[in-house]
Structure 1
């Protein structure tokens, strides 16, 4: 008689799997926005039953009875749900209390912003360190090979070593080659000390740390800062070309003016630069220097006289009679100018003959 497919085998859940589920479930318990930390856990499976136990570190302050019951309930429910076993005993032991480092920081005092104390990250100096290590290793390996060849293989010393010893024996500290070699060694030593004592990474600018970020720090590359400032200044009306050079202490903005008032555009460019720099959040604010030069085709805009009240549009003050200026002639009123007498120029000119009209 053949057994049913469902009765041919069985599913066994290992103790390790149950322990991992219990430890993870204990950390998932909601403790008012905080989490418990599991330091140790055990599990024992007996058929379809399981006994689990975890040691936890609860955040301070916390009510031990209520908080422990939340952790135990969450652990028992998740173990039963994920493993399919019946939790016979779920034990939670509070090992210690610790301040919750993930809790939000207290609000800053009035007028106090994020901390401005941040330093530039240190460079690994991989290339100089690799070169120094490679040169030192090569010299030591060559000298060690020659010494072993002399003492172990009964060979004579290498020619370069005997020549170096003879040369050093005949030259003193006052010789020019010795002084030059010492100067080169001193310069290399100062360079290595400078690399060891300075952070490097001159192409990045540190940002002000946020209290909630913990030990993490952020930096901005200087080309990225220049690109942001270029986009901000390009949006100013009248600016045609922008060039930005960003340094470690200051930033220089050079813009070209295509149209518009020069003074107003220069003020707008300075305001846009200052607003963009304030939004970067750098530890040490950059000092801007703005230069605005007009394009060759730029012309100063002409000032338009203000319109007088009661006058129609397009009519200036010179078009109104009674203000000391002659009235503008209207169509049909054109008359020829008087003609002077050619015989006596001093005599008053004759009036022009009247115009003939058809009756």
Structure 2
């Protein structure tokens, strides 16, 4: 079988076959390959839409109330619910008492409860258990009502009325620890930050302890001021020598 390729008669385009049998044009005006043609094609461009810029909207008051990080509303809800229940029950009982005073008979549930209580002594086991449970629940609700919610967050100064920022206590302790480790002579530091007090326990392996304690007081007090807390906790610093092994 012959490997020669014959030029077709009447074909004056000047094209010649290559080694794979494909026709390649010899004309300079039309001899660009597909790769060259692809390189000359314009790349697709992305036009910026006029709707691509996000718009900032003022949050509605209902959303702001749900996202307050350092408020007291979380711990006051159980006490508020209990107060509402007690108010409704007291009003219902007061209505029955007023009805009896005006000459009407007492309600059926009140007569049944009076008959039961008249036959039960106060030193019965189930009466004491119910009284103890109610007392514990009452004390728990009082503690929740008096303590602020979200104990792990420290309230920060509010830049505006719509923003209530909070700082995690562990993050504040980490900032104070990093600042304390920069003091010369400090070997290790333990920091715990609460709502009212920031306790720092440092170990110094050289230098005078009073000098190290004074520098720690200055550095940590400056760090607490930079945290921009709404209520700066009191600073407590203790420095000691490492234990001998």
TM-score by length of 2: 0.50
Larger gyration radius, structure 1 or structure 2: 1
> Larger helix proportion, structure 1 or 2?
2
TM-score by length of 1: 0.35
> Larger strand proportion, structure 1 or 2?
1
Structure ranking higher on relative contact order (CA contacts 8 Å, 6+ apart)? 2
